[in-house]
Amino acid sequence: MSHKIWQKNNSTSNEHADIVGNFTVGHDREFDLQLARYDVLGSLAHAEMLVSIGLLTSKEGQQIHQALQEILQEIATGQFVLEASVEDIHSQIEFLLTQRIGEAGKKIHSGRSRNDQVLVDLKLFMRYELEEITRSVQTLFHELIALSEKNKRHLLPGYTHLQLAMPSSFGLWFGAYAESLTDDLEMLRAAHAVCNKNPLGSGAGYGSSFALNRTLTTELLQFDTLNYNVVYAQMTRGKTEKLMAMSMATVAATLARLAYDICLYMNQEFALVSFPDSLTTGSSIMPHKKNPDVFELIRARCNRIQALPNELTLLTSNLPSGYHRDVQLTKECLFPAIESLKQCLSMTTFMLQHIEIKENALASSHFDILFSVEEVNREVREGVAFRDAYKNIAEAIESNTFHPTKEIHHTHEGSMGNLCNDKIVEQFNQVVRQILKNQG
């Protein structure tokens, strides 16, 4: 027999109810353990607020506080268990409270619904995970900036339409992905701001006749502000997850593109970057193979993450206002994707710490045509009209008489000779500070 906090008594369970219960709970219990800490934190704030408005006595508040702190410690040390007979994490914690402190434990749910309880758990969870993703992005960003500075004088072929185009540099290439992460972080910041609003006190979506102090729980849980309208607070379920997924998808897009570049540049016909044998895989039949499996899997995983916002959109797009059980499935989409993105960020950083570049990549005459624009610009600086200079160089290329000096003169902001990495770092750090402002 399962324990459900919404049951009027314990005699209503029957074979049909268990069949329905197993279906409606689904995989939710597997993800609920990740919310355990946040459910306790929400309950601690809610109990303190109930004391402040007289729905709990000071003694009851102290009992609840002590019991919840003990449960929090059990969660931290891995001793907490979600029992098979208990429906969800919220039921388990309320059941433990009642079991350990008696009547006071039965009062914790006053002025609260599972709807706003789940909402506050998810917002606290997502806020924390966005901060963790930010830290992982930060680590990768600084690795990219370091590589950009270290390799800024080493030239790299630039491509358009995957055809040889103009000279680039490894410094420019690494720095491009660093700045891409800077813009991605803006999306994380926006999602973090939406997560950082308190839904607690919205109840089932229509508020409460108790004189709840929602400002107090907002302060206790370190939210920036409230979701004020109680109907809208419930409407944020699914929407908040989708916004987080969108921000994750932007990071994933940057990682997938970088992974594709590296797979391409590792190809023997490009041979622009390489990795130690221990970080590549071989073939069962071809002894020469050094495959970029890590980056292929990063690319594939990140492409899946980019599909996540659409999955969440389809899951929630045809719902009216109010709570609906459909949104339970957002956990199944979002939670594994969060872990996958963090792993991809960590692995990308790890692999880049061991990347080896080809320092004289443009030495071959094969790459002479990359310098055609440099030669056109040289003639322009000498007084030749641009269209005439363009024609002169085109004819030299066609007649195989083109022999560039391979001198590079790039000085403007963001070019090979002036990467502006310090400016990119400044922008990046500013966004990090906005996201992690309460982290010390």
* Residue 318's pLDDT band (cuts 50, 70, 90): confident
Q: Does position 251 have pLDDT exceeding 80, yes or no?
A: yes
Mean pLDDT, residues 415-437 taken together: 96
* Residue 16's pLDDT band (cuts 50, 70, 90): low
Q: 25-29, 264-268, 270-274, 353-357 — which is least confidently predicted?
A: 25-29
Q: Report the relative pairing of strands 225-226 and 197-198 from DSSP bridges.
A: parallel
User: 397-413 b/e with 16+ CB inside 10 Å = b?
Assistant: eeeeebebeeebebeee
Q: What percent of the chain has pLDDT over 90?
A: 81
* Residue 1's pLDDT band (cuts 50, 70, 90): very low
Q: Which of 270, 247, 416 is nearest to 337 (CA)?
A: 247
Superfamily of domain 15-110: Fumarase/aspartase (N-terminal domain) (1.10.275.10)
Q: Does position 134 have pLDDT exceeding 80, yes or no?
A: yes
Name the residue ranges covered by the structural domains of the chain.
Answer: 15-110, 116-197+239-362+418-435, 365-398
Q: Which of 53, 45, 5 is nearest to 198 (CA)?
A: 45
Q: Does position 84 have pLDDT exceeding 90, yes or no?
A: no
Please name the residue ranges forming H helices in 151-207. Answer: 170-195
Answer yes or no: are the C-beta atoms of 38 and 125 closer than 8 Å: yes
pLDDT at residue number 283: 76
Q: Residues 386-389: contacts with CB within 8 Å, 24+ apart?
A: none
Answer yes or no: are the C-beta atoms of 101 and 63 closer than 8 Å: yes
| 154: enclosing H helix or E strand | none
pTM: 0.91
The per-type count for the chain, helices as H runs and strands as E runs, is 15, 6
**405 by DSSP, 3-state: which?**
coil
Task: List pLDDT tens digits, range 395-424.
Answer: 999 999 999 988 888 999 999 999 999 999
- Mean per-residue pLDDT over the chain, rounded: 92
Task: List pLDDT tens digits, range 216-246.
Answer: 999 999 999 999 999 999 999 999 999 999 9
Bridge partners, 261 (sequence order): none
Measure the CA–CA gap between 16 and 295, rounded to whole angstroms.
49
Span 116-197+239-362+418-435 CATH architecture: Up-down Bundle (1.20)
CA distances 115 to 95, 109, 129, 200, Å, are 18, 12, 21, 9
Task: List pLDDT tens digits, range 159-182.
Answer: 999 999 999 999 999 999 999 999
CB atoms within 10 A of CB 190: 15
**240 by DSSP, 3-state: which?**
helix
Q: Which of 428, 414, 370, 411 is nearest to 163 (CA)?
A: 370
